[in-house]
Amino acid sequence: MQLTELHGQIEASDHKPWQVYLLIAAVGFGVGLYLDLTAVTSALQLIETMLTGLDWIVMLGIQGVLIGFVAEYLYEQGDRYAKSGSYRFSSKDRILLFRIGVMTIFSGFITVIVPPIVESATQFLVIQTFGAIIVLGILLVHMSSRDWNTATEWPAIVAGMILAIVPSIV
């Protein structure tokens, strides 16, 4: 099969092409790591070395996604929030102070605790954190969606999980 035909099939699929390509690359890297192929390990180490200067960006990204989950919970504006907020805090000012306080505590916690945990748990810091950001970011974006069709996002979720988890378990 020629590459143009393969690309045409990917374009014609129900999934976004970047998700399919990311999945193909992640599966290739995952299988290569599992089989302990020197070429794949060397390629990942080369990619990691080239992206070393970006480690602070992916660290901020993972922290941002985690803060996003906290904020999504705190800032929910549905019926449940209005009912619980009205009898617990009795004013918008108190609710605002509570939210700022909670977000400050969580962001401080995430800033101090998350980087050392992520750095100690990963072999390829940038690549694995990037995979985790993809998975968690997609889940965060769709967290409030009641009609989210997971079938449209599964290639990116699986690719992110492979990138985030496989290097640490192989």
d(CA 119, CA 21): 27
DSSP 76: -
Burial 23-62 (b: 16+ CB within 10 A, else e): beebeebbebbeeeeeebbeebeeebeebeeebeebbebb
Condensed to tens digits (0 to 9), the pLDDT of residues 81-98 reads: 443 454 566 677 777 787
Determine the pLDDT at residue 149: 80
Residue type for position 7: H
Answer yes or no: is pLDDT of 80 > 60.
no
Q: Which residue has the higher pLDDT, 150 or 67?
A: 67
Percent of the chain at pLDDT exceeding 90: 48
Determine the pLDDT at residue 87: 56
Mean pLDDT computed over 11-37: 92
